[in-house]
Amino acid sequence: MIARFRLWLISMMVALDQCAHTFFAGPKYVIFGGRRPNTDETISSRVGRAALAGKRWGLMCEAAIDALFRLLGDGPGHCRRNIEWDEV
């Protein structure tokens, strides 16, 4: 039962992450145009792709997110490892 609870909790955290990505990327899309925010992409995935493209904001956010996830026990390179290539 604890394992199922943990898996459900992880699923809820991913869903909240995807919602936050859509919520925060939406105003940029409305005001400046560009790519419509993908509702099935996490913040880490979007930041990882921006960092790979060499965008300064992506590199800065990647450093902060990766540091946070290292503190939580994840290995280095969280954002780039979690790029959802099928969501491009």
pLDDT digits (tens, 9 = 90+) for 31-65: 999 889 999 999 999 999 999 999 999 999 999 99
What Rg, from alpha-carbon coordinates, does the chain have? 14
Quick one: pLDDT at residue 55? 96
Where are the domains positioned within the chain? Answer: 2-87
pTM of the model: 0.84
What distance in Å separates the CA atoms of residue 5 and residue 27, rounded to the nearest whole number?
34
With a cut of 70, say whether residue 88 has pLDDT above it.
no
State what percent of residues in the chain have pLDDT above 90. Answer: 85
What was the pLDDT predicted at 46?
94
